[in-house]
Amino acid sequence: MHRLLTWIFEPGFFANQPVHVAIVIGAAVAVVSGVVGVFTILRGQSFGGHALTDVSTAGGSGATLIGASPLVGFVGAGVIGAVVMDAIGIRRVRGRDLATGIVLGASIGLAALFLDLDATTSNTTGATQHILFGSIFTTESSTVPIVIAFSVVSLGIMAFIYRPLLLSSVSDDIAAARGVPLRLVGLLFMLALAVAVGLSALAIGSILSTALLIGPAATALRLTRRLGWSLVVACLIGVGGTWLGLLLAYDSYDWSSSHQGIPVSFFIVAVQFLAYLASGLPFARAARGRRPLGISAVG
């Protein structure tokens, strides 16, 4: 038994300081992303969420350039991007996709410039890799309180707008008839989304953070048709998958003789992707009823 355990958990996993930090950050990020992600999918804003990750790439690389913390850049740029997208966003879905794409393209251009300047002018090494593909194992423990604070803000917004957001996600018309301020609710949701994206950018990298946002939520929505449950399931899958990814990455140092580890972000993304594929298998589909989610969510 002990042998099996040491085979699964390589020696030193639980005593390792960076692993402790990673476990805490990973859990906080996964919970926020899970809750926000479910609504992102229900509202059909996967592309918007993904675009915010690219906006946050520009923010993170810009912050590194002026010597600030990437996390502040991720979240700050995300919030600005959310407001801009909300301002130029057109009501029609197709127009919204175009506006989103333009914001995305422009911010990737900015990111290209900032990352290039990072590499050529400042003496920070590895900025490109950290910003694009995450730094969960190299984050300092002093960042943990900031991560927790951002998580509380994002979850607080979600709790505050939960009912009206739910209503407007199911039907804008019903929500408007009941006097829900659609514009304000939409904007607040985009802000919560921006914070969630910024957090997961810190953990698994700005261009991969969509995985934690969409992956667990998509799997959860396939497994259960009740909204409350889907939030819980999304958080569980998110946290479990992230921890599994951390463990696999830690173990992978001993897989090859050269002790060349495999990037932790790869494992976290791969676990979420496989979980999503598995949720489409026949036995998982049978567990789900036939009623569409929208109906049971209101009832």
The residues of the shown chain that bind another protein, judged by CB under 8 A, are: 41, 44, 46-47, 49-50, 54, 93-94, 97-98, 100-113, 115-116, 119, 126, 128-129, 132-133, 205, 207-208, 210-211, 214-215, 218, 222, 260, 262-263, 265-266, 269-270, 272-273, 276, 280
* Nearer of residues 49 and 76 to another protein, judged by Cβ: 49
* Nearer of residues 113 and 144 to another protein, judged by Cβ: 113
* Nearer of residues 156 and 280 to another protein, judged by Cβ: 280
* Nearer of residues 99 and 191 to another protein, judged by Cβ: 99
- Cβ atoms of 104 and 81 closer than 8 Å: no
Concatenated DSSP letters of 262-280: PPHHHHHHHHHHHHHHHTT
Query: Shortest Cβ distance from residue 142 to another protein (Å)?
Result: 26
State the SS3 of 65-100: HCCCCHHHHHHHHHHHHHHHHHHHCCCCHHHHHHHH
Any idea what DSSP says for residue 180?
A: -
Query: Shortest Cβ distance from residue 87 to another protein (Å)?
Result: 12
- Cβ atoms of 189 and 161 closer than 8 Å: yes
Any idea what DSSP says for residue 138?
A: T
* Nearer of residues 171 and 256 to another protein, judged by Cβ: 256
Looking at the chain, list the stretches that DSSP marks H as alpha helix, in order from N- to C-terminal side.
2-8, 17-42, 46-65, 70-88, 93-120, 127-133, 144-160, 162-170, 172-177, 182-204, 210-223, 227-251, 264-278, 282-287, 293-298
Query: Shortest Cβ distance from residue 4 to another protein (Å)?
Result: 27
* Nearer of residues 109 and 156 to another protein, judged by Cβ: 109
Query: Shortest Cβ distance from residue 263 to another protein (Å)?
Result: 5
Question: Token pair of 238, please?
Answer: 């998110």
- Choose among 175, 202, 174: nearest CA to 189: 175
Query: Shortest Cβ distance from residue 172 to another protein (Å)?
Result: 18
Query: Shortest Cβ distance from residue 232 to another protein (Å)?
Result: 19
* Nearer of residues 111 and 155 to another protein, judged by Cβ: 111
d(CA 77, CA 56): 5
Query: Shortest Cβ distance from residue 27 to another protein (Å)?
Result: 20
- Choose among 193, 73, 81: nearest CA to 131: 73
